[in-house]
Amino acid sequence: MKLFTHGAEYLPILLNGLWLTILVTVLALILASALGLLWALLRTSGIPALATPTRILIEFLRGIPILVVLFYIYFVMPDIGIDLTALQAGIVGLAITYSCYIGETFRAGIEAVDRGQIEAAKSIGMDRSLTMRRVVLPQAFKIVLPPYGNNIVMLLKDSSQVSVISVAELSMQGKVLASSTFDNMTVFTMVALLYLCLTIPLNFILHRVEKRMGKA
């Protein structure tokens, strides 16, 4: 079977793309989570001048496909003096797009925390910042963990989108390898298996974390 006879030959090339996929995913996740938390805090701030523009921005970005965001950052932004490498543009594009989904996930978690606890925190002299750090966010994190985990897995899979701006991650390496060997079945089967090697352990880890947080 070609998968076994040629697999050893193709694997080192695909692994180069795999490591870049992991890098893109991790960096985009960090940036998206930070931005998402910011959007959530602004939306739940109770200040219309902050909450309304943030809501409009989120709805605007969620209505644009990731590919268009990537094209805009990589091909259009240089026209106004912001020139990013393909890798940087890919990470920023994924982060901006996913920050909207993660932000809405965080917002839902914050709003799900019992208002009575917030009032109790205020009654003992906690200001809004301290209440958010000590009372709201720890409970919200437990609430949002399952959907946040889904966002992580989706981000990992959508990292393949950065191949359209020539980032040589796993799917791009697969396409290049398949076009040079004409062995489409073997190459793309290996690409699928390598993605599974990332998503299956990730899902297992997230599930274990959810169970531990549930017990806590």
Mean pLDDT in residue range 65-71: 94
d(CA 216, CA 214): 5
Amino acid at 70: L
8 Å CB contact between 187 and 178? yes
pLDDT over 70 percentage in the chain:
95
Q: Is the dihedral of CA 39, 157, 92, 73 positive or negative?
A: negative
pLDDT confidence of residue 1: 53
Q: Which of 103, 137, 126 is nearest to 34 (CA)?
A: 103
CA angle 151, 156, 158 (to 5 degrees): 90
pLDDT confidence of residue 119: 78
pLDDT confidence of residue 72: 94
Q: Which of 170, 39, 164 is nearest to 96 (CA)?
A: 39
- pLDDT per position as a tens digit, 104-113: 999 998 888 8
pLDDT confidence of residue 6: 66
d(CA 105, CA 103): 5
Domains of the chain, residue spans: 2-215
Looking at the structure, give the CATH architecture of the domain made up of residues 2-215. Orthogonal Bundle (1.10)
pLDDT confidence of residue 96: 96
Three-state DSSP class for 216? coil
Q: Which residue has the higher pLDDT, 114 or 58?
A: 58
Q: Which residue has the higher pLDDT, 57 or 213?
A: 57
pLDDT confidence of residue 215: 56
- The token pair at 11 is 């694997």
Amino acid at 61: L
- The token pair at 200 is 């299956």
Residue with tokens 């990730």: 202
Amino acid at 143: I
- pLDDT per position as a tens digit, 174-203: 888 888 888 788 888 889 999 999 999 999
